[in-house]
Amino acid sequence: MIRTENLCKRYGSFAAVDDLNLHVQPGEIYGFLGPNGAGKTTTLMMILGIIRPTSGRVEVLGQPYDGSSFALRRRMGVVAEDAWQYDEMTAYEYLAFFARLNRVEQPGPAIQSLLERTELWERRQVLVGGFSRGMRQKLNLCRALLHDPELLILDEPVSGLDPNGIRQVRELLLEENRRGRTILISSHILSEIEQTAHRVGIIAGGRLLVEDSVAGLAGRLGEGQRIEVEFQQPIADLRSQLEALPFVLEVEGRTPNRWLVTTAMGEDQRPELARFLAGQGVLVIGMRLLERSLEEAFITITDAAVRTWAEE
């Protein structure tokens, strides 16, 4: 669906994007992540043909793309960082205007459905100039979906949204994906990407560090498990004994009576841990296995890259 080959963007001697090979497959939600200044927006702008690459190639929907083909552009829906120039239109007029531009036949039902799904229908007659940042963000997404595109390219689509708005957008995107739409989404909200994306690409310093499924990324963090244990009373004196157990790697106190135990082995060590604690006469009131999070993977992978570059 999207393929970049050795894509580069240089500003003088600075490489904002450096030899990037990105593959977004048909039907997937692809989360594009990276720290501030990593090169995400520059990459998306090159994919859309808004910024010209210094070198390399972009293919969209199976064809080379530089932004000039209206036929290809019409098959995409885009949310980019927007300079708004439509403040004098109502939300409804705004969508109707873009529906005409994109030659949407009978736009009325599509506009109504999108405004309802984003809870903006009641505000359809309000001028866009009076919209909050979050409302504009949702309206932007409605505009991107209006012409029923096959491919969605979304730069930070949930930035500025409240929890309700984030949920509406998540549901909208999952629904569009179930209908077969491919989605490339960049975001700093990792919990969102974790809940929606099939695969993730992490970029830093303009280079792609990793491309994998969310579970695959978490798997890269190691085999052990993290078990959160809650005791009835604080048990500070047990720490060194816990650390001495053969399957325990690390013990971290989260609160005096809630600890995080990292184990060295893949299998579930909760029964062993419970046996040991019971033997010590400790009353355990809760024990829960923590999933490795995308946030943890993101920080580990980007930190490792930064350390490597500092040593180079």
Site residues for ligand ATP per CB under 6 A: 11, 16, 34, 36-42
Nearer to ligand ATP, 18 or 176 (CB): 18
Task: Name beta bridge partners: 248.
Answer: 263
Q: Where are the beta strands (DSSP E) in the chain?
A: 2-11, 14-20, 23-24, 29-33, 55-60, 63-64, 76-79, 151-155, 182-186, 199-204, 207-213, 226-231, 248-255, 258-263, 284-290
Tell me which residue has tokens 């184990």.
263
The Cα–Cα gap between 259 and 287 comes to: 10
The closest alpha carbon to 128, from 87, 95, 97, belongs to 87
Tell me how far, at minimum, the Cβ of 158 lies from ligand ATP, in Å: 14
Smallest gap from residue 32 Cβ to ligand ATP (A): 9
- Determine contact, residues 245/224, Cβ cutoff 8 Å: no
User: Which CA distances in Å does 216 have to 25, 200, 306?
Assistant: 17, 10, 21
- The minimum distance between CB 94 and ligand ATP, in angstroms, equals 25
| C-alpha triplet 215, 221, 223: angle, nearest 5° | 90
d(CA 60, CA 1): 6
Residue 277 or 297: which CB sits closer to ligand ATP? 297
Q: Which is nearer to ligand ATP, 36 or 106 (CB)?
A: 36
* CB of 51 or CB of 274, closer to ligand ATP: 51
Minimum separation from the CB atom of position 64 to ligand ATP (A): 22
Are residues 48 and 3 in contact, defined by beta-carbon separation less than 8 angstroms? Answer: no
Burial 220-230 (b: 16+ CB within 10 A, else e): eeeebbbbebe
CB of 197 to ligand ATP, least distance (A): 17
Shortest Å, Cβ 70 to ligand ATP: 26
Our CB check for ligand ATP shows the closer of 34 and 77 to be 34
Cβ-based nearer residue to ligand ATP, 189 or 221: 189
Q: Which is nearer to ligand ATP, 111 or 209 (CB)?
A: 209
Of all helices (H) and strands (E), which one includes residue 172?
helix 163-178
